[in-house]
Structure 1
């Protein structure tokens, strides 16, 4: 199998119902303050990973954390995953700073996130 490889899972987004209540819990868990702190997203950088809190469930109203695979070309990876049987649930879109995100579900409905940093 050929095609663009991933750079591994570096980002995990946790769906939360209340950012204000979740933020201190994750700060205590990770031992660091947020690096991104807004009304729509709170992110932490800890031990080489980015842990994010997303209100309202994140991609497809997920009810569990979603791991994001970092890739060099998100559109190429979406095409390869679609050809392999995955369903695109969140087309690639810019979330700020040139970062593109997208998600697919595997044949069992598991959400797989993709991130491309420009």
Structure 2
């Protein structure tokens, strides 16, 4: 089961320029502003900027579906023909992410938030 598409991560080469652009677009300051990640929250959406995204193979924005059980969802996607791009990884605060590529080459991200 998903809670919907709530997060999009953009790979960026110049995080300062990307941060300025998204600050202007969204009209809010980032809630996370680190050299390795800048994150914005606006209108129920989480927009992230990843300066390492290109080196991880990201070629454009990646949508992340929020799921209840990341292992179960990842397994179902792999059984349906997806290819693993990123195994399940804890990124802090109990939040876990993974990503796959579908048969058309599209990247699909998964997020499971830690227990509240």
TM-score normalised to structure 2 length: 0.94
Correspondence for 2:32: 36
Deviation at residue 88 of structure 1 after TM alignment: 1.1
Correspondence for 2:82: 86
Deviation at residue 75 of structure 1 after TM alignment: 0.5
Unaligned runs of 5+ in 2: none
Distance, in Å, in 1 between the alignment partners of 2:45 and 2:3 is 12
Distance, in Å, in 1 between the alignment partners of 2:25 and 2:83 is 34
Q: Flag as ranges the 4+ runs of structure 1 deviating above 6 A.
A: none
Unaligned runs of 5+ in 1: none
Which among 17, 20, 35 is matched to residue 24 of structure 1? 20
Distance, in Å, in 1 between the alignment partners of 2:55 and 2:67 is 18
Answer yes or no: is the 8 Å Cα contact 1:59–1:90 preserved in 2. no
Q: Secondary structure at the match of 2:92?
A: coil
1:23-49: CA deviation from partner (whole Å, max 9, x where unpaired): 011000001000001010000000000
TM-score normalised to structure 1 length: 0.92
- Between Structure 1 and Structure 2, how many residues are aligned? 114
CA RMSD of aligned residues (A): 1.2
Correspondence for 1:48: 44
1:37-63: CA deviation from partner (whole Å, max 9, x where unpaired): 101000000000000000132584212
